[in-house]
Amino acid sequence: DGGITQSPKYLFRKEGQNVTLSCEQNLNHDAMYWYRQDPGQGLRLIYYSQIVNDFQKGDIAEGYSVSREKKESFPLTVTSAQKNPTAFYLCASRRQDYANQPQHFGDGTRLSIL
């Protein structure tokens, strides 16, 4: 089935540790996005990529890094510089060949601090 797969579903980070969240899509979508969701704050954009080997910072990129080496994959690394990483992380993707296609989401990764 086509879709967006995020893994793991739950992740725990120790102090000073970098962790990487996986996002894979088989929808042949060009653009991919990472959001952070906190209670009472909606979804905030971390990074997005519209094409392989290119990505842009969103509103809250500090303490995060991404790569886009393949069209299907857009992993997010939460670095030790991110002092408050506990949140629900959502990956999304969309087509760009037709104008203004909506974004579709994976089922998220919940990250907690140990």
Sign of the CA dihedral with 21 first, then 50, 5, and 71 last: negative
The amino acid at 92: A
Count of Cβ atoms closer than 10 Å to residue 80 Cβ: 14
Applying CB under 8 A, the span of 11-19, 64-72, 73-81, 101-109 interacting with other proteins comes to 101-109
DSSP tag of 30: S
Burial class from Cβ neighbours inside 10 Å (0-12, 13-18, 19+) for residue 112 reads exposed
CB nearer to other proteins: give 45 or 52.
45
Shortest reach from residue 31's CB to other proteins, in Å: 6
Residue 84 near other proteins by CB under 8 A:
no
Residue 61 near other proteins by CB under 8 A:
no
Structure tokens at 86: 């506990």
Shortest reach from residue 42's CB to other proteins, in Å: 4
Q: Give the dihedral of Cα atoms 77, 28, 42, 65; nearest 10 deg.
A: 20
Applying CB under 8 A, the span of 12-20, 60-68, 77-85, 103-111 interacting with other proteins comes to 103-111
* Residues in region 39-58 near other proteins by CB under 8 A: 40-43, 45, 48, 50, 58
Site residues (vs other proteins, CB under 8 A): 4, 6, 31, 33, 40-43, 45, 48, 50, 58, 90, 92, 94, 96, 100, 102-108, 110
